[in-house]
Amino acid sequence: MLPFARIAILGLGLIGSSLARAVGEAMPTARITGHDSDPAVRDTVRRLGLCDDVTDTPGAAVTDADCVILCVPVGAMADLAAAIADDLPDNAVVSDVGSSKAGVAAALRAALPGRAIVPAHPVAGTERSGPEAGFASLFRGRWCILTPAEDADPAAVARVEAFWRALGAEVETMAADHHDLVLAITSHLPHLIAYSIVGTASDLEAVTRSEVIKYSAGGFRDFTRIAASDPTMWRDVFLANKDAVLEMLQRFTEDLTALQRAIRWDDGDALFDLFTRTRAIRRSIIEQGQDDERPDFGRSHA
Amino acid sequence: MLPFARIAILGLGLIGSSLARAVGEAMPTARITGHDSDPAVRDTVRRLGLCDDVTDTPGAAVTDADCVILCVPVGAMADLAAAIADDLPDNAVVSDVGSSKAGVAAALRAALPGRAIVPAHPVAGTERSGPEAGFASLFRGRWCILTPAEDADPAAVARVEAFWRALGAEVETMAADHHDLVLAITSHLPHLIAYSIVGTASDLEAVTRSEVIKYSAGGFRDFTRIAASDPTMWRDVFLANKDAVLEMLQRFTEDLTALQRAIRWDDGDALFDLFTRTRAIRRSIIEQGQDDERPDFGRSHA
């Protein structure tokens, strides 16, 4: 009993193409139809054989789907939803994989009134983009957060939950607003800070870019990974989740200012206390299977 | 022709114990004497057989050494140098592995006047601490920066350079002040920011610690790795390299404030421009062999 038999994936980048691969492995009898607005991406996905069919328009991809998953930057969700409205079967469940949820949910509801909408966010990814960067195991052991409206059809929610569990994900349900606050600290602010410090480092005059690169193993290189993430996706996230991001940024800035003061006044105890506390969080993340337990993320040292 | 025949390693944590292992592999005929102020660490190193001899006092470790390498937190360098002054052979070369250099160099010169001092900083490490966390290949392909004074003995500098090259490191020489500026951006500020955001995340009320951990794969977990680094080592670095760290922190804060403003005013173009620029730095780091080219640092996704 598959949760869905005919799945349309709209947007075939890292997440959409990983989804196509994961569905292909976990639900080999499900039919997958894909679409991407970029003809070159469509060609790549056809060549890789990730979908049973790749259509040139989003409407053509959804005509007989029982599940439609929007995998485009959050700023593109509203237009895409409007573009499929006329072709969407009445009984199809609509979901998405956007990194911010309240705004996306509102846009989907506005464009597709009366439809079964179950917004989702698989908290998984890499710094790579595009259909060739995807892989089937991306969601395995990661959390997928569902943010259905309070009046959402429980059967539709249960099917989307079963779908993600079948791909190896853990599933949690929460309100869209709370999701946006949680992800602002666990994902959006980390990306903003990483982008920012990489920008700072490349704009210095006293330290050359070549020096920044050569000595990046001191810690900086860690930040460059997430600062290599897709620019369009992340621009949209910050604009869509503005309030929560600004709130978390404000708190971070206050805490950083306190550290700055501790350094300026040689308050070694304050530094030591914080640096001791932060170790516990890392341990918990590893214990709960959310990161590699090997040192240095398991990077090769050969 | 080994650069040194009798090497004393003072401090046997991650770096000191990695050095003992690396010397053991690369220079099997060199005699390694080790010391650590912690009796438990000395016992572990004896049990692991990482040194030919482990002494209970630092002075006993250096009595017949031709090379002495101080591998302790930078705040402990001055006292350690003073403790070995009376036992140090006249012709021994003294080096260290401290992450900040101007202050350490001054401390070594003050405690050991007239000696051959060649400060060094291997830009390598992991988030783990202690003798069991070390490994022989830690320095391979990484940069080691030497910061000898202008009047340093060129022969001593050449021997320290040959020593690090024999361990597989690349070697660069620069002024101590410049080192401290470069590392402030490539290592010290990244650690400060990581410690800070992990602290911010664990202090929130609206988002639970359990949520922070569960959804950390969105980016936050990357920061927890370096925020799990040794608290004593890092407290000392920030106090020792105060001026350069505060200068870089000031620039970072300005840039972050500009991003904050771009988000507040919906300036998507400014965000997109920065997010596009930062990808290039990551590419260069990988091209120059300073990070794993596999996505997600090569983390396992199984």
Say if A301 falls within a structural domain: no
Average pLDDT (B72-79) is 98
* A169 shares its domain with A81: yes
Looking at B174, B206, B239, which one is the last position of a domain? Answer: B174
- What's A10's DSSP letter? E
Q: Which helix (H) or strand (E) holds B171?
A: strand B170-173
Residue A191 clears pLDDT 80, i.e. is over it: yes
CB count, 10 Å around CB of A286? Answer: 18
Chain A: closest CA distance from residue B121 (Å)? 10
The pLDDT tens digits of the residues spanning A39-48 come to: 999 999 999 9
CA distance between the termini of chain A: 47
Residue in B129, B195, B234, B283 to test binding to A, most A beta-carbons within 10 Å: B195
- CB contact under 8 Å between A219 and B190, yes or no, is yes
Nearest C-alpha in B relative to A289: B214
* B247 shares its domain with B235: yes
Q: Which residues of B are less than 8 Å from A256 in CB distance?
A: 192-193, 196, 249, 253
- CB contact under 8 Å between A193 and B195, yes or no, is no
CA distance between the termini of chain B: 47
Instruction: Report helix angle B176-183 to B102-111, nearest 10.
Output: 140
pLDDT of A215: 96
pLDDT of A135: 97
Average of per-residue pLDDT values in chain A: 97
Q: Are A162 and B233 in contact (CB under 8 A)?
A: no
* B49 shares its domain with B128: yes
Kindly list the distances between the CA atom of residue A152 and the CA atoms of A158, A163, A177, B4, in Å, as whole numbers in the listed order: 11, 17, 16, 73
* B134 shares its domain with B233: no
Average pLDDT (B241-248) is 98
Residue in the structure block whose two tokens are 């997109």: B272
What is the ipTM metric for this complex? 0.95
* A241 shares its domain with A163: no
Average pLDDT (B143-156) is 97
Q: Are B103 and B96 in contact (CB under 8 A)?
A: no
Looking at B174, B193, B209, which one is the last position of a domain? Answer: B174
- Predicted confidence band at B1 (pLDDT cuts at 50, 70, 90)? confident
- CB contact under 8 Å between A249 and B260, yes or no, is yes
The pLDDT tens digits of the residues spanning B86-102 come to: 999 999 999 999 999 99
CB count, 10 Å around CB of B49? Answer: 10
Residue A302 clears pLDDT 80, i.e. is over it: no
Pairwise CA distance, residues A239 & B156, whole Å: 57
CB count, 10 Å around CB of B177? Answer: 14
Helix (H, G, I), strand (E, B) or coil at B290: coil
The pLDDT tens digits of the residues spanning B16-45 come to: 999 999 999 999 999 999 999 999 999 999
pLDDT of A96: 98
The pLDDT tens digits of the residues spanning B281-294 come to: 999 999 999 998 99
pLDDT of A200: 97
Residue in B128, B230, B282, B283 to test binding to A, most A beta-carbons within 10 Å: B282
The pLDDT tens digits of the residues spanning A108-141 come to: 999 999 999 999 999 999 999 999 999 999 999 9
* B165 shares its domain with B234: no
Pairwise CA distance, residues A211 & A202, whole Å: 10
Pairwise CA distance, residues B100 & B242, whole Å: 10
- What's B132's DSSP letter? G
Backbone angles phi and psi of A197, in degrees to 5: -70, -30
Say if A64 falls within a structural domain: yes
Say if B299 falls within a structural domain: no
Which CATH number do you get for residue B243?
1.10.3660.10
Range of the domain at B23: 6-174
- Predicted confidence band at A300 (pLDDT cuts at 50, 70, 90)? confident
Average pLDDT (B156-174) is 98
CB count, 10 Å around CB of B145? Answer: 26
Residue B301 clears pLDDT 90, i.e. is over it: no
Structure tokens at A184: 């602002």
The pLDDT tens digits of the residues spanning B110-139 come to: 999 999 999 999 999 999 999 999 999 999
Instruction: Report helix angle A268-287 to A242-264, nearest 10.
Output: 140
Say if B279 falls within a structural domain: no
Residue A257 clears pLDDT 80, i.e. is over it: yes
Q: Which residues of A are less than 8 Å from B214 in CB distance?
A: 143, 172, 288, 290
Per the structure, the count of domains in chain B is: 2
Pairwise CA distance, residues B16 & B28, whole Å: 17
